[in-house]
Amino acid sequence: MSVDFEQLYNTYYMQVYSFVMTLSKSRDISEEITQRTFFKAMTSGKNYRGDSTEFTWLCAIAKNLFVDECRAQKRSCGLDAEGASDADIERAFLEKDSAFRIHQVLHDLEEPYKEVFQLRVFGELPFENIGRLFNKTENWARVTHHRARLKIQERMERP
């Protein structure tokens, strides 16, 4: 199965980043693992057989990279209060604030963008099924999801 990696990156970057952010609660770790996820997908793309959605495949890669990162650092990827420096505490606070910002943007997203995005990302529903839920077409679901993604990215870039 041939994969267009530029399209894959443009389509799923924010979703994979959000997924990793829920695991790590760290902006830096999430950015690093998301980048490594797409690199690994690109370098091992011939291994994608199409048994699952591309998003599910990418999330599996990301989860494995996250687990590897945790093992390499020999920690649970959380903050240990004992022995934590002021810089560690400040970094943890900023990372929690970033995770909260992502959830806030999703919470404040207007309908139907919010529901379509959540059904696609968290429910992993195909566009065809999302369209049917709204009594619309598959194309409508794709366009609405794309617009939701753009709105989320735009709002995340605001100060």
Residue 93 CA to residue 99 CA, distance in Å, equals 10
Question: What's the CATH code of the domain at 71?
Answer: 1.10.1740.10
Residue 77 token pair = 């990827």
Please report whether residue 1 resides in a domain.
Answer: yes
Residue 84 token pair = 């934590």
Q: What percent of the chain has pLDDT over 90?
A: 14
Please report whether residue 86 resides in a domain.
Answer: no
Per the structure, the complete domain to which residue 33 belongs is given by: 1-77
Q: With a threshold of 0.75, does the pTM exceed it? A: no
Please report whether residue 150 resides in a domain.
Answer: no
| Contact (CB, 8 A) for 130 and 120 | yes
44 three-class SS: coil
| Contact (CB, 8 A) for 119 and 50 | no
Residue 137 CA to residue 121 CA, distance in Å, equals 18
Radius of gyration of the chain (CA): 17
Q: How does pLDDT run across 89-142, given as a tens digit for each residue?
A: 455 555 666 667 777 888 888 999 988 888 887 777 789 888 988 999 999 999
